[in-house]
Amino acid sequence: MDFKFKMMGKIVFAMMALVAISFTACSDDDNGPVIPEATCSDGQRNGSETGIDCGGPDCEPCTDADPDSDPNPEPSGAITVSDNITTDTDWTADTIYTLEGRIFVESGATLTIAPGTIIKGASGSGANASVLIVSKGAMINAAGTAEEPIILTSVEDNIEIGQTAGTNLDQNDTGKWGGLIILGNAPVSLDGDAESALIEGLPTDTDNEDLGSYGGKDPTDNSGTLQYVSIRHGGIALSEGNEINGLTMGGVGNGTTVDHIEVVGNKDDGIEFFGGTVDASSLFVWAQEDDAIDIDQAYSGTIDNVYVVLGGTSDHAFEIDGPEGSLAGSFTLTNATLVGNADNAEGGELADYRSGATGITSNIYVIGFPEGKDVELDNNQVAQNWLAGLDNPDADNALIFEAWEVVGFGNEIFIESVGCIENCNDDDNENDVKEKPILSDPTFTEAAADWTATVEAGAQTVGATASEFSWTYSNTKAGLGL
């Protein structure tokens, strides 16, 4: 907690800068990314260097020595990837890899991606849109670093080898390619108690549906490592209404390592968890068009240290669903900063808890949301789970809220809503038959006073640790100085 107090000034500055850039939807002419200057000594290709620490007007010329012995080899160029990966494969930072179509890493194969590697997705159309999918039984080892993150972006992005940002796209450029999908063998709660299913976003005509299936019986399943990975400008639809999330994790087990992930400008959700048990930390989502963090199908892991900045067309910061079958599960979502967008009149909500959601949401800092944005219990079922948590916090179906600090508002942002029970699927909303509210004495709003505090900007004691996101494109783009 002491560390968070020390970081308070930086956190406030960071949030205000991000809010400003989101509100104004500025172009790169207003505040373009910082392109690294040539250093000639840091082991990376920067600025005008034509090789690593050599070439260009700022460094000594590259040598003409044998490439095998040259300490500063020229980048090898570009490779187009159009076939599935069926054997162990390495992708390196001296090459830009362009995905053409659906690329599966098949069971038994490991894709290793070196720090600093750039992967670009061709736009394609429909079922031929580009997406990278790690199937059940396959592994991805993508361990970037703060200095050399791994970047997945659009082929339209003019980013080049050795850079961490291009200059021609920004957070408002969405749906340029698909995204990254990781599939595992951990348990998921599916309709009819099915053990596995085809992951959302993929068309049902997938050549081999086993490649796109997720779910199993192994909570410790290991799909590999994702660290310091930035995913940008994705979310293209592979079929009607079937957009891809920036990062999708279906049935991913807790043997998998996921931390320091950034998603920027995605047309669907930022990051979505379909069941599974994987833990994930230090997640940054900016200007997604649907939900920033989405939880479904009895996801039972821990999500820690989250920073969400809504854009002008974003929907929710959090959308939380529960089980679809009899398999139960409980999530933990903690230490998050949520930054709203005053220009987002139709969307821009805080959170929606639906479909029997069970778990705990704690240590949340909220800033920049206009009046009328809420945290909603969507129907009687999820309201009943909140009641269960009041009676017994250890109950399997408990839904719990703890330690929310909000700038400008108080417990009035927490509301009980009701679901539709009859005539729900026709085009006439006027004939819908709704549930009746079930919470009283106290109401959900009244009870929220126990876990909600109104604070001044910068006076928070909860929320994300902003310094963990100093490496991100979002930090560079907004000039936050984290």
Domain limits, the chain = 1-22+300-482, 34-74, 79-278
Task: Please report which confidence band the pLDDT of residue 270 belongs to, taking 50, 70 and 90 as the band edges.
Answer: very high
pLDDT of residue 46: 54
With tokens 């509100």, the residue in question is: 23
- Terminal-to-terminal C-alpha distance of the chain: 18
Is the pLDDT assigned to residue 311 strictly greater than 60? yes
Is the pLDDT assigned to residue 431 strictly greater than 80? yes
Q: What is the DSSP string of 191-211?
A: GGG-S-EEPTTS-TT-SSGGG
CA 334 distance to own-chain centroid? 15
To 10 degrees, the CA torsion angle through 129, 135, 141, 147?
30
Higher pLDDT, 58 or 78: 78
Contact by Cβ (8 Å): 97, 152 = no
pLDDT of residue 480: 61
pLDDT of residue 399: 98
pLDDT of residue 36: 46
pLDDT of residue 31: 37
Task: Please report which confidence band the pLDDT of residue 61 belongs to, taking 50, 70 and 90 as the band edges.
Answer: low
Q: What are the tokens at 253?
A: 């087990």
Average pLDDT of the residues in 318-322: 97
pLDDT of residue 271: 98
Lowest mean pLDDT, pick from 114-128, 276-290, 388-402: 114-128
Calculate the average pLDDT of the chain. Answer: 87
Task: Please report which confidence band the pLDDT of residue 3 belongs to, taking 50, 70 and 90 as the band edges.
Answer: very low
Higher pLDDT, 74 or 202: 202
Average pLDDT of the residues in 318-346: 94
Average pLDDT of the residues in 66-77: 46
Is the pLDDT assigned to residue 275 strictly greater than 50? yes
Is the pLDDT assigned to residue 240 strictly greater than 80? no
Is the pLDDT assigned to residue 148 strictly greater than 70? yes
Average pLDDT of the residues in 431-435: 92
Distance CA 60, CA 58 (A): 7
pLDDT of residue 251: 98
Is the pLDDT assigned to residue 136 strictly greater than 70? yes
Is the pLDDT assigned to residue 337 strictly greater than 70? yes
Higher pLDDT, 1 or 421: 421
Give how far Cα 263 sits from Cα of 271, 284, 309, 438, 473, Å. 8, 6, 11, 38, 9
CA 309 distance to own-chain centroid? 11
Helix (H, G, I), strand (E, B) or coil at 28: helix
Is the pLDDT assigned to residue 2 strictly greater than 70? no
To 10 degrees, the CA torsion angle through 280, 282, 286, 292?
30
Q: Which amino acid type is present at position 5? A: F
Is the pLDDT assigned to residue 481 strictly greater than 60? yes
pLDDT of residue 463: 98
